[in-house]
Amino acid sequence: MADAAALVSDRLDQLLDELDPATADPVELRGRQYDLGLAWVHFPEGWGGLGVPPSHQRQVDQRLHGAGARPPVSREFFGLTLAAPTVVTFGDDALKTRLLRRMFTGEDAWCQLFSEPGAGSDLAGLSTRAVRDGDEWVVSGQKVWNTLAHVADRGMLVTRTDPEAPKHKGLTYFALDMHAPGVEVRPLRQITGEAEFNEVYMTDVRVPDADRIGDVGEGWRVAMTTLMNERTTIGGGSGPPARGSGAIAEALRIWSEEGPDRGPVSRDTLMRSWVDAEVLRLTNARASQNRKAGNPGPEGSIAKLMFAEVNMRIYELCVDLLGADALDGYDYEMRRAEQLGLVGPPGSARKMFLRSRANSIEGGTSEIQRNILGERVLGLPGDVRVDKDVPWSQVPRS
């Protein structure tokens, strides 16, 4: 792909001639990056991309980072990795024009509004209603486990628009204005003491039909694009981390600097954990290189499942290595977190041991990932589903 590499290089030259990433306003810099097709290089031209393979994004990121550009912050994560591929795949031209550039510049932060108290792993059973009223939809319902919704400007919202259709068929997807009248965000305090997650209540919220993503009744198909990108990103598929980084780096630091004396059993556990972390990192590197298009397939479930398993084991090892010291040094103070909590900085093992419990739930439970792998990757028979063709209104619910 010499031509693609040359095109990306030429656009980078133009960007760096116009602006100095180390001193330019980040919104201005990233706006120009978007206009030159360097936001998501695999997206179509005119929508932040150049229509070249996604592997060339690393060329962009490395050069801009080397020139002093700041990396994205946590509040931008959901827009850059989940909303963007969903909008570019299913949004009409007017919607892409309104949403994508602001998403990339960080002017609009996004959150995900999927799960409900009665529809978690069975997402298609959701009950948040959207009723058409002319050029608007009136939305009422409750969502839960909405990460960073308290700092979001937009939400990826899946609603039920046809209760008489089977549960997978009657859904519609919207880009919700989180500042609209009738939207209320309430904190959910976690075991760490923080409130990274939220509940979102919608009471007669008016959503313009112009903010609909995809066709009416196609919300399940649209949501699958979001979820596949989520699983790949949580697993590390947005780009492999450096060798020995992340949770295993904290375990190695504790081994060298903190805690009581250890024996050969602890050493063996540490080495096995390091191998697991490295295998996961290399698996993600291979998957990243093999991706031919912007939207991943079910293989993202492999990385997501293993990330949850490995991350929890490593942080459990960390507190084991700390011994009794693991019981001290964390205050459990109520905080409104503005950072994602998948991994933590050095010294955060006490918190991350608690936070990592969520890894097997968020982004699709480990049980759901195993079902996906069994059915879609291995071709095993699916679970018996007695409500697949039954209208949602007739499906028993607790």
Q: What are the DSSP calls for 220-243, one per residue? A: HHHHHHHHHHHHHHHHTTTSPPPT
Tokens of 353: 């041991």
CA distance 252 to 274: 9
Please state the φ and ψ torsions of residue 43, each to the nearest 5 degrees.
-70, 160
176, 154 contact by CB (below 8 A)? yes
Q: Long-range contacts of range 368-373, CB-CB < 8 Å, 24 or more positions apart?
A: 368/121, 369/231, 369/301, 369/302, 369/304, 369/305, 370/305, 372/298, 372/301, 373/298, 373/301, 373/302, 373/305
DSSP helix/strand/coil, 11 = helix
Distance from C-alpha of 116 to C-alpha of 391, rounded to nearest angstrom: 19
Give catalytic residue positions. 230
Amino acid at 5: A
